[in-house]
Structure 1
């Protein structure tokens, strides 16, 4: 199972609990990328730029999707990378849909590189709006992530009982 959604959707918190409930491992691709590179994501953005980060992300995510058999939490921007979208084929992807208000409240004050600038709240809302269609198109199921973690976990687990994990048409 793969969890996708924008920053602040709760992919890591929900993913750890879902993995525990299923008796499988959990892997956050952002943490894995930092482990692979020995660098923090904000440092990669600041030094190398977003394009270089996305290339590193693609390598990490495609490897993880190929090798890891558990619950995977993607970085919020992973769905913007064509190679990652292609690698998601055949995986049960659950989109944790968060509202701009709830998501921003969860990440406000963090060192998220894409939110640097004069209007982080506006930037958050704009990026979320830009990516929403990608998340939706790739998802086998969508869960409202504005709920409590416990409620989101239950909803995510219920998606496993609803049938095949086929995704909608790939927008690549």
Structure 2
């Protein structure tokens, strides 16, 4: 990519492995990882679930939007976005502009069967309250078209380790083959 900005941005639903793959990819590429969920928590001084409870989702989304904009401007390594960040129209526009400058946006795709043990649907997740599996499915129905539209590369994480996914992404970056597709070994 010419210019500034992250080397690669990871997007996808809860349980896709954005943070875990991000760490492996950053190691593989010898870059730093930045996770916008961690940025939001650090800035707010509390976990995301507490932001949702204490301040509400709209406040969280405002914090998230600012964290993503700042990271796209400042960070030059691997950037992992929170699962819902792409639903903000300004963030979506920023990602389109980033990709238009040659940036790589990777959609880490995952099925419910593989996301379930990773997410731990028994844990408190703000957007998965009630019937977490049904909520996850509904969330994916809304978000999948956005993930697909914004991505320059799609990689399934089903049945693969973070290292395997990271190597697939790194190989695509090295070969320059980061056009829209589903990369599988």
Query: TM-score under structure 2 normalisation?
Result: 0.84
One of 138, 141, 145 as aligned partner of 1:133: 145
Structure 2: distance between partners of 1:166 and 1:56: 31
Q: For residue 104 of structure 1, report the CA deviation from its aligned partner.
A: 2.1
User: Unaligned regions of 5+ residues in structure 2, if any?
Assistant: 1-7, 181-185
User: Unaligned regions of 5+ residues in structure 1, if any?
Assistant: 168-172
Partner residue, 2:72: 65
One of 42, 45, 50 as aligned partner of 2:49: 42
Whether contact under 8 Å (1:100, 1:128) holds in the other structure is no
Most deviating of 23-32 and 151-160: 151-160
Q: For residue 110 of structure 1, report the CA deviation from its aligned partner.
A: 2.5
Per the alignment, in what secondary structure is the counterpart of residue 106 of structure 2? strand
Structure 2: distance between partners of 1:69 and 1:110: 33
Partner residue, 1:161: 174
Structure 1: distance between partners of 2:173 and 2:26: 13
Partner residue, 1:22: 29
Q: For residue 166 of structure 1, report the CA deviation from its aligned partner.
A: 7.2
Partner residue, 1:97: 109
Per the alignment, in what secondary structure is the counterpart of residue 40 of structure 2? helix
Per the alignment, in what secondary structure is the counterpart of residue 113 of structure 2? helix
Per the alignment, in what secondary structure is the counterpart of residue 3 of structure 1? strand
Is 2:92 the partner of 1:85? yes
Whether contact under 8 Å (1:33, 1:56) holds in the other structure is yes
Partner residue, 1:170: none
Most deviating of 104-113 and 11-20: 104-113
| Equivalences, count | 166
Is 2:134 the partner of 1:122? yes
Per the alignment, in what secondary structure is the counterpart of residue 174 of structure 2? coil
Query: TM-score under structure 1 normalisation?
Result: 0.90
Deviations 1:15-64 (A, max 9, x none): 11111111110011101110111121101111221111111100011001
Structure 1: distance between partners of 2:122 and 2:175: 38
Most deviating of 90-99 and 154-163: 154-163
